[in-house]
Structure 1
């Protein structure tokens, strides 16, 4: 069909240019045209690199994916997904089958925990939740049908540090896949493949993109066949990412190292300041000597203790409400990794599905908060927290 001027509706190509764009162009096209059926066959067979349909891949996803591949020293090109939970789902649903058994760390992100305890059992996949720092307990949980171990290097939200070296040796001995969610730690602090992980997961939504305007995930496997299987599953399940989100994520990742280092430095200072305040029962930060896993964290993270701080107020839900109201300028929001500091209350957000008794057993009382430290002036941030704690607890 021709338009009013007699030319075809779709142009043949972009205008030619002797120069190139400095910023990666946004490729919003859902479909890509090939010259011949033979050429299309060659693309699907892998003899030619090219794009066909955006669910199967697009330039902006590849730009972001290759950047994370380099950061993680991934043996294979990872897959960018529509969210962090899409990446988790790709592993749990794309690899396991009815009759399998999966072991998970007992303090996973709330939705990962929900998938492990509710959705997988509904599909006939049994699960066990075990302390990732207790190798004896992990060994005891292994069954003949166990397929994988899923952990977070540093857990959400109590910042428990996994014994990754011990788990890697155990998984290899038992013939299991070791899957590591590296969202909290990021490749700046920890590279799971270098510690024996078989699969690495990220929520790009958080620190890597870093501006609370992107929802993306990433997954890569050490084994090429497994990596291909994950890619095929994400395509089939429609877990493909938005080109615009990928374009935004790339922009955010350009400043990632600077953002990480600044936020981490401030987090260490805030943790020490919180520990000095009346009304604060405890502070959890892997960089502090009083953290129960400090020695392990130092070895695992090489002194990069990240930007997450958790603490517990001396009080109940009323005190928690008073604290968030008094924390002037801080966002109370169920997220992390933003340029601004955010507060999260697990009892009312990420772990609300657990009973109060189970949350207490995991160390999450009504006065427990997780802080994602941002880029504010450290002195100003400490003052805001001190005033909010004083107001909420009356100290």
Structure 2
């Protein structure tokens, strides 16, 4: 029967069957999926068959991205969220309850720090911050009610390297969940589950998707029951990813390995070049001999360093303004992971909510920049930075 023969049935019949299949994953923007009968819907909800119901509870494009990241991290059952901070939220609020205590790295991304300092305490969850490179300092904050420790492998934006192995051992000994944000390093450089993590978080928005046109996150737990809690919380609170963003992210992830390797090699060259420029006070990159965590970084990352470079100009805010104006062709934007190199000024963006004193404690000055290195020609990039630093010093 042709349901549309008289125009009384709105929705068309399913797509025609085909002996071939599309090479590119189809975009599935449908919010809702139809089932044949109530019994068939029961079979889906009760796990006897796989199917989709309502896109807040999952959709094909999110599953494609999740499975790709699962394979990269060596796990199963990861969940894609609407942003990286949604993934952080799922890991914290999907597991912790009022009366619990969580320890965070003291150099987390600015919004993660805000959640630790303001939002969790408001909900009755106590928090502490400690240097993730100092296991003894973290251990000193543990209480009987401590439930989780959350750190970044390489911190945003100061590029300090956490003592992941030491913290994992501490968590095992004390029965504490160990959550690791792997956004900067990505599975190309580091796999936290291989080092004892219980939960892994990503902002897919960044280098994984890689084109500044996607807003997505990812969270997964090693233990299936814990993973189900993350999923249920994400569904209940609507931390839902857009099918279109997932479709774009899959496209970006197809070239991820190539982009990561190219950007990382350029980042190494740029860090070395910046270190020799007059007016640059310091350069931070994990594989450099002058990096404060070089020994730990070598042991943990095995020579990988990611595509991020941070550096500090002499001259404060005036020099920072002059630098961004003179950095021709580079986007000054609070993001990272694009195909083009971007500049971020943490004092005016990611860490602006911190007090000046708190930023000083993290060594984030008005002259401090975080660079997300893209795919430009390395020599051209060096020229742009050299000119911009020169202009900054003239200011």
TM-score of the two chains, using structure 1 as the length reference: 0.98
Residue aligning to 2:338: 338
Residue aligning to 1:120: 120
| Cα offset, 1:301, TM superposition | 1.0
1:256 maps to 2:256: yes
Hey, what's the Cα distance between the residues in 1 that align with 2:247 and 2:139?
Answer: 43
- Whether the 8 Å contact between 2:4 and 2:12 is mirrored in structure 1 is no
Residue aligning to 1:12: 13
| Cα offset, 1:371, TM superposition | 0.3
Hey, what's the Cα distance between the residues in 1 that align with 2:77 and 2:124?
Answer: 31
Residue aligning to 2:53: 52
Residue aligning to 2:301: 301
Residue aligning to 2:155: 155
Residue aligning to 2:25: 24
| Cα offset, 1:38, TM superposition | 1.0
Hey, what's the Cα distance between the residues in 1 that align with 2:392 and 2:133?
Answer: 34
Residue aligning to 2:370: 370
Alignment of structure 1 residues 90-169 onto 2, 5 Å: 90-169=90-169
Residue aligning to 1:277: 277
Hey, what's the Cα distance between the residues in 2 that align with 1:320 and 1:86?
Answer: 31
Residue aligning to 1:314: 314
| Cα offset, 1:4, TM superposition | 6.9
Hey, what's the Cα distance between the residues in 2 that align with 1:298 and 1:70?
Answer: 25
1:384 maps to 2:384: yes
Hey, what's the Cα distance between the residues in 1 that align with 2:6 and 2:261?
Answer: 56
Hey, what's the Cα distance between the residues in 2 that align with 1:203 and 1:361?
Answer: 26
Hey, what's the Cα distance between the residues in 2 that align with 1:350 and 1:80?
Answer: 23
The SS at the match of 1:95 is coil
Hey, what's the Cα distance between the residues in 1 that align with 2:374 and 2:38?
Answer: 51
| Cα offset, 1:25, TM superposition | 0.2
Hey, what's the Cα distance between the residues in 2 that align with 1:227 and 1:218?
Answer: 12
| Cα offset, 1:286, TM superposition | 0.4
CA deviation string 1:65-94 (max 9, x = no partner): 0000000001x3100000000000011111
Hey, what's the Cα distance between the residues in 1 that align with 2:13 and 2:271?
Answer: 58
| Cα offset, 1:5, TM superposition | 3.1
Between stretches 11-20 and 364-373, larger displacement belongs to 11-20
| Cα offset, 1:50, TM superposition | 0.5
Hey, what's the Cα distance between the residues in 2 that align with 1:87 and 1:308?
Answer: 21
Residue aligning to 2:244: 244
**Long gaps (5+) in structure 2:** none
| Cα offset, 1:7, TM superposition | 6.1
**Long gaps (5+) in structure 1:** none
CA deviation string 1:268-298 (max 9, x = no partner): 0000000000000000000101101011111
Residue aligning to 1:187: 187
- Whether the 8 Å contact between 2:81 and 2:239 is mirrored in structure 1 is yes
1:198 maps to 2:198: yes
- Whether the 8 Å contact between 2:105 and 2:130 is mirrored in structure 1 is yes
Hey, what's the Cα distance between the residues in 2 that align with 1:332 and 1:216?
Answer: 21
Across the aligned residues of Structure 1 and Structure 2, the Cα RMSD in angstroms comes to: 1.2
The SS at the match of 1:141 is coil
| Cα offset, 1:312, TM superposition | 0.3
Residue aligning to 1:43: 44
Hey, what's the Cα distance between the residues in 1 that align with 2:7 and 2:230?
Answer: 46
| Cα offset, 1:12, TM superposition | 2.8
Hey, what's the Cα distance between the residues in 1 that align with 2:203 and 2:177?
Answer: 20
1:232 maps to 2:238: no
| Cα offset, 1:127, TM superposition | 0.4
The 1:312–1:49 alpha-carbon spacing in structure 2 relative to 1, beyond 3 Å, is same
Hey, what's the Cα distance between the residues in 1 that align with 2:350 and 2:382?
Answer: 25
| Cα offset, 1:332, TM superposition | 0.4
Hey, what's the Cα distance between the residues in 2 that align with 1:373 and 1:91?
Answer: 29
Hey, what's the Cα distance between the residues in 2 that align with 1:384 and 1:346?
Answer: 21
Between stretches 294-303 and 259-268, larger displacement belongs to 294-303
Count of residues in Structure 1 that have an aligned counterpart in Structure 2: 394
Hey, what's the Cα distance between the residues in 2 that align with 1:291 and 1:52?
Answer: 50
1:210 maps to 2:210: yes
